[in-house]
């Protein structure tokens, strides 16, 4: 069974808040839900499917469904793949809708890492860090997201000659887009030289290679074709989705120069029946600059090892380069709510397909877009999710 054409994006909402001093995390989830329902023109009692991940407080879906008073839910899913969860949830929602399990699926993400002084993975509360099978052999070494992505960058540079200047171009492109976003955490356009002059955080990554830490969240509504037809919104059809896990797998033949996107990407493109050349706009998870570079290669926008040359010289800047990416400013400049950027990747892709992106960054005739992410850590265990959407 394919989900191609079996589900649509009905509504999206990105919380404008970046510093949530006065809100609770459940409240932010509810505000995001309300925003996405209003965008779709649906009401709470239309929701019969609910999707959330490790950032949902308490007993996850159970707590949030009860808190929001979602009384019609007959399908739920709290698959946890870190920041990519919400891209994966859209695919799962499309599958559930195609199978008749629900017709209006709500996906929410929210949290307040700035108030809790949290970097880290933003949730993943499941069993506690010391219960993970690898815990005794890995948690002792002080690994953080910064170093576990820094290791990928160091190896990529070693094998392919990728440079810090090339990585910096990814941040530069994001900053060119963020200048037009009133809600962006960082709105200043930066240069390659400024990125390289920012302090090293985890070698070879500089501070400006890292995403922002923001409070807030977002929500997406996925609907059946019948519901989509009843909505007074541009129709954004889901045409392909795929997911894949990757880890060190026993340590033999460790290769940190590629992500699980190398598997989810081709599968999603095959389902959609399109190729990277057909894509007009790309939302690419950008926890760090290296995250973008590796995923662009893995998705097939360029050959493995060519990512550095591909992203250089403004090739990712809307109106300038060949592949406009993260036109909201992305996690690098705009928003990385709860240290989990997946949902904002879906939201900006939907804005582009609807023609509702900021006019300065709107891609002309944007009829095919990709939203792709990896969650967890590229340097160890992560889950990739790829979503391809079409303007009908």
Residues of this chain that interact with another protein (CB under 8 A) are 130-131, 133-144, 146-148, 150-155, 158, 199-205, 248-252, 254, 256, 380
CB of 132 to another protein, least distance (A): 8
195/193 Cα distance (integer angstroms): 5
Report, in this order, helix, strand and coil percent for the chain, each rounded to 5: 40, 20, 40
Indicate the residue among 72 and 158 with the shorter CB distance to another protein. Answer: 158
The CB-of-380 to another protein minimum distance in angstroms stands at: 7
What kind and span of H or E run contains 195? Answer: helix 192-197
Nearest Cα residue to 294 out of 172, 157, 191, 192 = 157
Phi, psi values for residue 122, rounded to 5°: 60, 65
What span, in angstroms and rounded, lies between the C-alpha atoms of 391 and 372? 17
Closest separation between CB of residue 139 and another protein, Å?
A: 7
Residue 222 or 378: which CB sits closer to another protein?
Answer: 378
- C-alpha separations of 361 from 96, 199, 251, 349, 355 in Å: 34, 29, 43, 12, 10
CB closer to another protein out of 38 and 135: 135
Minimum CB separation of residue 242 from another protein in Å reads 23
Query: Which residue number, 64 or 154, has a Cβ lying nearer to another protein?
Result: 154
In the complex, what is the shortest distance from the CB of residue 129 to another protein, in angstroms, rounded to a whole number? 8
Closest CB 359 distance from another protein, rounded Å: 40
Q: Which is nearer to another protein, 22 or 117 (CB)?
A: 117
Min dist. Cβ of residue 191 to another protein (A): 22
CA distance 169 to 162: 12
**What is the Cα–Cα distance from 346 to 350, expressed in whole angstroms?**
6
Closest CA relative to residue 309, chosen from 181, 134, 167: 167
Q: In this structure, are residues 241 and 3 in contact, taking their beta carbons and an 8 Å threshold?
A: yes
**Measured distance CA(380)–CA(149) in Å, rounded:** 9
Q: Are the beta carbons of 234 and 140 closer than 8 angstroms?
A: no
Closest to another protein by CB, 106 vs 153, is 153
The position carrying tokens 């200048």 is: 179
Q: Which is nearer to another protein, 131 or 182 (CB)?
A: 131
Nearer to another protein, 158 or 229 (CB): 158
């Amino acid at each position: 069974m394919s989900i191609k054409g079996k589900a649509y994006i009905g509504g999206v909402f990105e919380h404008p808040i970046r510093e949530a001093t006065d809100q609770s995390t459940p409240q932010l989830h509810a505000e995001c839900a309300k925003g996405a329902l209003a965008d779709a023109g649906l009401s709470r009692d239309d929701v019969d499917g609910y999707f959330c991940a490790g950032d949902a407080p308490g007993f996850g879906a159970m707590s949030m469904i009860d808190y929001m008073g979602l009384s019609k839910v007959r399908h739920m899913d709290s698959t946890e793949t870190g920041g990519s969860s919400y891209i994966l949830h859209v695919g799962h929602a499309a599958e559930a809708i195609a199978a008749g399990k629900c017709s209006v699926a709500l996906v929410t993400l929210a949290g307040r890492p700035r108030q809790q002084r949290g970097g880290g993975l933003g949730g993943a509360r499941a069993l506690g860090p010391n219960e993970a099978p690898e815990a005794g052999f890995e948690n002792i070494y002080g690994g953080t997201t910064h170093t576990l992505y820094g290791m990928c960058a160091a190896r990529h540079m070693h094998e392919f000659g990728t440079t810090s200047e090339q990585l910096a171009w990814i941040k530069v492109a994001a900053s060119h887009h963020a200048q037009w976003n009133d809600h962006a955490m960082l709105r200043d356009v930066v240069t390659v030289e400024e990125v390289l002059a920012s302090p090293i955080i985890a070698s070879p990554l500089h501070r400006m290679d890292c995403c922002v830490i923001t409070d807030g969240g977002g929500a997406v509504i996925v609907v059946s074709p019948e519901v989509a037809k009843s909505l007074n919104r541009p129709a954004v059809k889901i045409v392909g989705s795929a997911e894949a896990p990757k880890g060190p797998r026993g340590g033999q033949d460790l290769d940190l120069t590629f992500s699980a996107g190398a598997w989810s990407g081709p599968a999603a493109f095959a389902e959609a029946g399109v190729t990277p050349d057909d894509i007009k706009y790309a939302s690419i998870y950008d926890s760090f600059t290296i995250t973008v570079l590796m995923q662009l290669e893995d998705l097939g926008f360029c050959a493995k090892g060519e990512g550095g040359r591909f992203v250089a010289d403004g090739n990712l800047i809307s109106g300038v380069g060949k592949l406009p990416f993260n036109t909201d400013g992305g996690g690098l400049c705009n928003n990385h709510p709860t240290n989990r950027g997946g949902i904002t990747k879906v939201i900006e892709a939907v804005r582009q397909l609807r023609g509702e992106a900021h006019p300065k960054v709107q891609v002309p005739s944007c009829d095919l877009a990709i939203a792709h992410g990896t969650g967890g850590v590229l340097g160890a265990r992560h889950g990739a999710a790829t979503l391809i959407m079409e303007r009908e």
